[in-house]
Homo-oligomer: A and B are copies of this chain.
Amino acid sequence: MTKISTSFNDIVRIIQDGDTVIVGGFGLSGIPEKAIMALAEQGTKDLTIVSNNCGVDDWGLGLLLQNKQIKKILASYVGENKVFEEQYLNGELDVELVPQGTLAERIRAGGAGISGFYTPTGVGTPIAEGKEHKKFNGRTCILETGIVGDIALVKAWKGDSYGNLLYRKTSRNFNPLAAAAGNKTIAEVEELVEIGDLDPNFIHTPGLYVQHILKGENYEKRIEKRTVRA
């Protein structure tokens, strides 16, 4: 009962038109670049994408935008992308901006079976409009709901055949949350290791969250802002 697949093109066939897909990554760091490319090649349409950002014009989720595969996106920041701007202003793309912490917590809640939660984030702002308000110990909060994806696409550093995953540094970001919130989670890794090689005391994503795992080759890992010490 290994969960290892060998072909990205094969595995993305489980993604169907109209699916909600939660995608790990922050900016371009830790994005599942191989699965996104295969999904772009497959051309699946009318996707609802849940991801903190939406890539850049020619990389990451930007590839799906260029193909007009995305119907709606939930994100906290979408400022690096001209294709996005065009489609949004044309009305081709539906956008729900979600505060970053609320987005993370909504995905975490989806994976954890928490239907809704109250947060002070966004109270008194446009984000709170139409949402249920409630006071706790004198502090007003708004009700936000959990997000579950038909599919989650995540990128990890190391993984094994059961789907246990380790992430590296800040490329962890939204990936463990996405992994838990997908009805089917596809994890791509830089390195596949043998069962038993990972220390059970230091697993970031336990294997039960992952349905499919693949090794990606030659990760490009583009850098958005290369800053170095003088």
Contact = CB atoms under 8 A, between A and B. Distances in A.
Chain A, interface size: which category? 20 to 34
A179 interface: no
Contacts of A225: none
B136 A116 contact: yes
A139 B116 CA distance: 12
Contacts of A117: 109, 114, 116-118
**Stoichiometry (number of copies):** 2
Q: Which 9 A-B pairs have the closest CB atoms?
A: A115-B136, A117-B117, A202-B202, A116-B118, A115-B118, A115-B141, A114-B117, A116-B136, A114-B119
Contacts of A167: 201
Contacts of A141: 115-116
A137 to B, nearest CB: 8
Interface string A195-209: 000001110000000
Nearest to A116: B118
23 contacts: A105-B112, A105-B114, A109-B117, A113-B119, A113-B120, A114-B118, A115-B118, A115-B119, A115-B120, A115-B134, A115-B136, A115-B137, A115-B139, A115-B141, A116-B117, A116-B118, A116-B134, A116-B136, A117-B118, A166-B201, A167-B201, A168-B201, A169-B200
Nearest to A134: B116
Contacts of A169: 200-201
A42 interface: no
Interface string A118-162: 111000000000000010110101000100000000000000000
Chain A interface helix/strand/loop/mixed: mixed
A154 to B, nearest CB: 17
A87 to B, nearest CB: 29
A202 B200 CA distance: 12
Nearest to A136: B115
A116 B141 CA distance: 9
Nearest to A146: B136
Nearest to A199: B202
Interface string A180-218: 000000000000000000001110000000000000000
Nearest to A157: B201
A101 to B, nearest CB: 9
